[in-house]
Amino acid sequence: MKKDVDVEERHVEKKQDSSRVASTFIKYFAYIIIFFGFLWFLVQYVFPMFQ
């Protein structure tokens, strides 16, 4: 006699550790700072050349 038993598997995802979240935040914050720095450079130095 053979029994068919369905085993329910549960995969619980752990929250990301705070150091990984912090490093990702710092990375994207640096991207934003570089982007706005580039925009500031354009506005201050490049755009006045064409006026």
pLDDT digits (tens, 9 = 90+) for 11-22: 766 666 888 999
- Residue 4 in any domain: the answer is no
CA–CA dist 47, 20 (Å, integer): 39
- Residue 10 in any domain: the answer is no
- How many domains is the chain built from? 1
How many Å separate Cα 3 from the centre of its chain?
48
Asked if the model's pLDDT at residue 2 lies above 80, the reply is no
Taking alpha carbons only, the member of 20, 22, 42 closest to residue 30 is: 22
Asked if the model's pLDDT at residue 8 lies above 70, the reply is yes
**Alpha carbon separation from 51 to 36, 44, 47 (Å, rounded):** 22, 12, 7
Query: What pLDDT band is residue 40 in, cutting at 50, 70 and 90?
Result: very high
Q: Which domain holds residue 29?
A: 19-50
- pLDDT at res. 29: 98
- Residue 1 in any domain: the answer is no
